[in-house]
Each structure stands twice: as structure tokens, then as C-alpha cells.
Amino acid sequence: MEHLRLIKTDYTYADLSTSASPAVEKTMEEGEVPSTLLINFFSKDSITTGVLEDPERSVDLGFCLEKGIAVRRRQNPGGAIFANQGSYMFCLYLRLSEPWVPFKSIREAFPFYLERMAQVLDGLFSVESRYRPVNDIEVNGRKLVATSARLEKGILTLRSLINVTPVDREIMSMAIIARPEKFKDKAQKDAGSRFTCLEEEVGRSIQRREMYEFAEQIMTKVFGPKIEIREGELTSTESQYLRQLQDKFGSDEWFFANSERTRFRNANPAARKVEAFHKAPAGLMGLVLLAYEGRVDDLILLADFHPSPMTVLTQMEDALRAQPLAIEKLMDQVGRVYNAPGVEIPGTDLRDFETLLDKALRLL
């Protein structure tokens, strides 16, 4: 019988996202452990930003310091996420070569996995939830589950943050910088009001055993009744990687690596800077552009969504540097990268990149 290893942990969201979860991914990539389901209970409040974001543009770092909210930049994409004490994350690590895995890409995984999670929510908690593309589950237009994805070296990671306990929406709204473009197609126009939690929806407290049952029913729904779940713990190799990663992700060097203060440290002082944002179906995309003498001097492409491989935006940046500031020339370069074999950016098409570039060029 096929099986998943089950691990139960109590890390903060920041530690889970930046250290514990990557430690499992790295060990899986090395072939040392089987496909795994990790269920984590958050012991304290924290925030992470996506690897393709600039933390100084997505989070009010001064406010977070004042309130004692830990902030980390994780190694997987997606937007800024606030996780409060008492909520949970389900981390599913799958080796896609396994014949029992019913999807083989991020594009396939999001709807397949999240539609079934919503069905289990409805059945177990009597909550009328629905999958909202690309990567959310909502109840009455408010986000209950946010999921990120990573696909590297044949290992697909799906990490679903389940809001279980009430969040202080005022604190979250002040901590996370919400650009108006991000909410143009949503009924709620600030970060805090867009979220709900399971305890509010069911009108009672949720016990740990219920969340464990919830996770196991999802696995049965996704993989079929023959999947066996075997409880275990982190291996010594995973624990070693976890400690190493805590040192790395706690450093300023990593945290600010995609920020202007680092990326534009040696920028041409004569270059003109403009910025633009555009909401694609996948999420918010941004561009900070330095222009000089009719060409792209330097740039940073930002995203709160899930390209695969994650180096796609870096490849686009490399292709766009030194190009003439003409939309046709720029889109030729973007298209060459976007249409390359193995590239997958669910919830976007080339028109989204064209809109973003055009917005920036109009500001020059």
C-alpha cells in the first residue's frame, strides 16, 4: 500500500515556512524521505513575505517591530502572509514521479487539491466554502485558506494556511502593505477584511483532533482510500538542515536580497526610476525600472504568485537589461522567456506582462 509520512509540529509560521519546511524539501530532493504531510499548529503570531517580493514594499517593518511581530522572507513565492497563534498549516510534499500522485504540475495541483479540500470543509464543518482560483478557498467572499506552491527537482510542495482562530484585522491591515491594484476585483478592499476564520464560521472553538481529522480526510479525498498515513518525526538530517536554515533566514543579507537597497546598491545615479503594478489573475505583479539614455538600465520584477521555475523572473530581468524602452522590443524578450520549455506561470499570460511594462513606460 502506498503511504504518506505524517509529522505533527508546533513551530511559529515564520520558522515553519523559512526553516522547517525547506528542511523537509531538501531532504526529499536528496531522496532520503518519502512523500510527507506535515501538520503544524502556530504557537505565536508572525508574517512571511514571498521570495519574489520586496519586503519593504509588502510589509510595514517599523510597525511590525513596534508590535513584536516576527517577519521573515521565505524561499517560496506568494504574497505576504500573516499567521496568528492558534491557526494551522498543512504542508504536503510530493514526489511527482510517484504513480499515485494525480497531478504533475502546479497548474493542475491547485484546482484538484483545493476543490477537494473545500469539499471536506463542507462535510466536516458544515461550512459553505469554495475554491477561488488561483490558490484560495473562500467563505462568503472571504479567504479561509491561502495556498502556496513550489516545484523544484521533481518535488511539489503545497502549503495551505488554514485560518482557524480570529485574527486582529486592524493589526494585520496595518502590518501588510495592501496596494489598491491587488483588491480591484475583490469585494473587500483591505488585507484584514478579506479574511475569515474557521471558528467564526462554525461558531465554536476548534480542537486539534478535528484539524488532524480534517487533514487526513483531505488526503483520502485527493489520493483515494488506499493511501496509508504513517506518523513519524523529522529525521536527524532534517533537523540539521533546519538549524542551518534558521541561521540563514534570520540574516539581513537574505531578508533584503530582493529589495531596492540591495539590488540597486550600485545603481547609476543619473537613471530615472519608475514603478508600476498590475493585478493578473495569478496575483499582483510589480516592476521597478531604472531607465537611462533610452534603455533599461536595471529593473526588479516583483510577484506574489507562483512561477515555475522560480528563476523565471530573474531570466526576464536578464533579458530586459540594456533593451530599448520600446514595448515591442521588451515584449519580444519577455515572450522568449515566457514561452521557453518548462516555464509555467499559472494565472498569467503575455498580456499581463505587456500591461505592466506599458504602465511603467508611460511614466517615463
End-of-domain residue from the set 232, 255, 278: 255
pLDDT reading at 57 higher than 90: yes
| 154 and 36, same domain (yes or no) | yes
Contact 199, 181 (CB under 8 A): no
Strand 283-292, strand 46-49: pairing: unpaired
Domain count of the chain?
2
End-of-domain residue from the set 216, 236, 255: 255
| 272 and 246, same domain (yes or no) | no
pLDDT tens column, 219-274: 999 999 989 999 999 999 999 999 999 999 999 999 999 999 999 999 999 999 99
| 73 and 92, same domain (yes or no) | yes
pLDDT reading at 305 higher than 90: no
- pLDDT for position 194: 81
- pLDDT for position 192: 55
For the segment 7-12, the average pLDDT, to the nearest whole number, is 95
Confidence (pTM)? 0.72
| CATH number of the domain within which 318 lies | 3.30.390.50
What's the full length of the chain, in residues?
A: 364
| CATH number of the domain within which 210 lies | 3.30.930.10
- pLDDT for position 203: 97
| 133 and 277, same domain (yes or no) | no
| 200 and 156, same domain (yes or no) | yes
Classify the phi-psi angles of 256: left when phi > 0, otherwise alpha if psi is within -120 to 50, otherwise beta: alpha
Residue indicated by cell numbers 541561521? 247
| 297 and 152, same domain (yes or no) | no
- 328: CB partners within 8 A, 6+ apart: none
- 10: CB partners within 8 A, 6+ apart: 40, 41, 42, 43
| 240 and 293, same domain (yes or no) | no
| 242 and 276, same domain (yes or no) | no
pLDDT reading at 133 higher than 90: yes
- pLDDT for position 182: 65
Task: List the Cα angle 236/4/9 in 5-degree steps.
Answer: 50
Which residues are bridge partners to 275 per DSSP? Answer: 288
pLDDT tens column, 156-210: 999 999 999 998 889 999 999 987 776 565 554 455 578 899 999 999 999 999 9
- pLDDT for position 45: 87
Lowest mean pLDDT across 16-30, 74-88, 185-199, 299-313: 185-199
Segments forming the whole domain that contains residue 230:
3-255
Taking alpha carbons only, the member of 79, 228, 78, 213 closest to residue 157 is 78
Contact 306, 77 (CB under 8 A): yes
| 210 and 234, same domain (yes or no) | yes
| 251 and 282, same domain (yes or no) | no
| 134 and 159, same domain (yes or no) | yes
End-of-domain residue from the set 255, 277, 305: 255
Residue indicated by cell numbers 498590475? 278
| 207 and 274, same domain (yes or no) | no
- pLDDT for position 78: 87
